[in-house]
Structure 1
């Protein structure tokens, strides 16, 4: 039977998916048939797309891409592979956005931050004790290499200012604003709208405290500007930044990026 197996067209003497699993990966391997993970055996047909994933083993590039295609809609994944996304600020929002985009296979990420990892970051940012004292750019780049070593991750360890926005983010399709301070957010959004024609900006406002997660939403106040958050709750004395709402907002930003790369515009 002629099948596409882990990204390679092969002819196998197998009539069912689990027969192919026994031949290629053993009984504990994960089997994905035409984009659906199987919990029971299914018959195979010519030109089926089969992915067999041995547990605990790192696949090569072609196999990993095949697995990503199996998990995602193939046409969508190909669009994500071509994506060029910049993330300005690698704190609670930016570090989590980067991890989500790497996991979904966005092909090129640019990480920009001037700061180092310090202990108070550990309450909501995607860093570990081993990263303390490291530049956030390099700490995050090392994490992403462990998640998906086959995407391109560039870093710039600099402070973003109004006069370097055009130089830093030229060539990116989408820019994620992920700063903490309102004045820095406003500076970046204003400069990007003025100096980066055609670039879409995904920004955030309002994710502090313990208010309902359902208040966090995605809006589109301008043609090229998407805004995620509850638009109200800023960090202040008695209202801290904590992992759940920060990561929910980061999820909104990452999801908006994926939708834009896939050609889905928010209303």
Structure 2
């Protein structure tokens, strides 16, 4: 029995080696593998040359958008789901020069995936994480990659998934900086939600609707903002098995445009969060039919079904009570132009007395409130006794008088 188990393990290891070899061959199209791949760059440079892949990114610092763009190399991000959104997300982060990417997916590349971005027909049959790793390494060899080809919702794999996001950071033993959910089913989303609530791990969720014309991204900070279980969709709340909803010969629609938009919004939010610039969105939706982008912030549900979420809420409230936020009022200094070589001055043509006369009556107002404009006083007539008198003369008689004048 033991010998049989050992033999099975050896065969599985051999199969994995052959799959990796096949991935290397087919990932490069079977020819020209490694040709044109650049050498690793130890330090990002702002130098503007045709051979510098980071010059446009480092320009963000020169333009005052990001203080230290090179800091992006110190972050590790886990991407769960390397499909229509996840693969493009991983590619964008790779091109941006992220320090480390951890990719999780159990699916294989199929020709049915070719309506979306990133994967190519010759990669059909490979696991998505293997095909993605090969392509991404060729794009940017400076990025570290760690791939896992399994379903995170199974008991054993879930424990390993938690271990990797808590210890698989850029420095081994440290947690990742962010987890990105790019999965296409609620079961996997709930698994990610459960793991992140238990670990106190900040993560971002993304999704595209089944009709392919809307999507969203959501930042989840355990205890501070709503988790996926705080306001679950009906399928999750009713404990419906998603597999029972699928019908033979029917699949969800998929548009590469919507996938690309959602992936772009997700990575933009990731960069703003990691590099501390702009406003990080807690929830941002996208409706392609009306080009509508709703944004909102969702507070956590005190009665959330996830006990770890409730625990995180209690810890967050304690932190808030211990460190109350103090309002800071910024004082803006008036701009003084000291360089005035020509001695130009601005002088009002109206005196203060004339201004007061034209201001009209000022009503009683609370302290600190002033009027931007008041109704001027009515000018009194300068002619005394001037009145309009009625006349019994006809119009013809009055016109005759006018002609004689």
**Bucket of the pairwise TM-score, normalised by the shorter protein:** 0.5 to 0.7
Q: Secondary structure at the match of 1:92?
A: coil
Which residue of the other structure, out of 195, 199, 202, is the alignment partner of 1:200?
202
How far is 1:79 from its partner? 2.1
Q: Secondary structure at the match of 2:47?
A: strand
Which residue of the other structure, out of 103, 106, 111, is the alignment partner of 2:98?
106
How far is 1:115 from its partner? 1.8
Alignment correspondent of 1:181? 185
Which residue of the other structure, out of 230, 235, 252, is the alignment partner of 2:265?
252
Q: Secondary structure at the match of 1:167?
A: helix
- The answer (yes or no) to whether the contact 1:99–1:144 under 8 Å persists in 2 is yes
Q: Secondary structure at the match of 1:127?
A: coil
What TM-score does the superposition give when structure 1 sets the normalisation length? Answer: 0.65
How far is 1:202 from its partner? 0.7
How far is 1:155 from its partner? 1.2
Q: Could you tell me how far apart the structure 2 residues matched to 1:154 and 1:190 are?
A: 22
Alignment correspondent of 1:168? 164
Higher normalized strand content (fraction of residues)? 1
Tell me how large the CA RMSD over aligned residues is: 3.0
- The answer (yes or no) to whether the contact 2:211–2:252 under 8 Å persists in 1 is yes
What TM-score does the superposition give when structure 2 sets the normalisation length? Answer: 0.45
Alignment correspondent of 1:51? 47
Q: Could you tell me how far apart the structure 1 residues matched to 2:46 and 2:92 are?
A: 25
Is 1:190 matched with 2:194?
Answer: yes
Q: Secondary structure at the match of 1:160?
A: coil
Is 1:240 matched with 2:253?
Answer: yes
Question: For structure 1, which runs of at least 5 residues remain unmatched after alignment?
Answer: 1-48
Q: Equivalent residues in 2 for 1:212-227 (5 A)? A: 216-220=215-219, 222=221, 223=224
How far is 1:129 from its partner? 1.0
Alignment correspondent of 1:5? none
Alignment correspondent of 2:398? none
Which residue of the other structure, out of 127, 131, 135, is the alignment partner of 2:127?
135
Higher relative contact order (CA 8 A, sep 6+): 1
Q: Could you tell me how far apart the structure 2 residues matched to 1:208 and 1:137 are?
A: 24
How many residues align? The count is: 203
Alignment correspondent of 1:261? 274
How far is 1:186 from its partner? 1.8
Q: Could you tell me how far apart the structure 2 residues matched to 1:238 and 1:165 are?
A: 28
- The answer (yes or no) to whether the contact 1:113–1:158 under 8 Å persists in 2 is yes
Alignment correspondent of 1:97? 89
Alignment correspondent of 1:44? none
Is 1:157 matched with 2:162?
Answer: no
- The answer (yes or no) to whether the contact 1:203–1:226 under 8 Å persists in 2 is no
Q: Could you tell me how far apart the structure 2 residues matched to 1:109 and 1:148 are?
A: 12
- The answer (yes or no) to whether the contact 2:82–2:129 under 8 Å persists in 1 is yes
- The answer (yes or no) to whether the contact 2:207–2:217 under 8 Å persists in 1 is no
Alignment correspondent of 2:169? none
- The answer (yes or no) to whether the contact 2:183–2:207 under 8 Å persists in 1 is no
Q: Could you tell me how far apart the structure 1 residues matched to 2:262 and 2:197 are?
A: 22
Q: Secondary structure at the match of 1:53?
A: coil
Q: Could you tell me how far apart the structure 1 residues matched to 2:220 and 2:130 are?
A: 33
1:7-48 per-residue CA deviation (whole Å, 9 max, x = no partner) reads xxxxxxxxxxxxxxxxxxxxxxxxxxxxxxxxxxxxxxxxxx
Which residue of the other structure, out of 74, 82, 85, is the alignment partner of 2:77?
85
- The answer (yes or no) to whether the contact 2:77–2:177 under 8 Å persists in 1 is yes
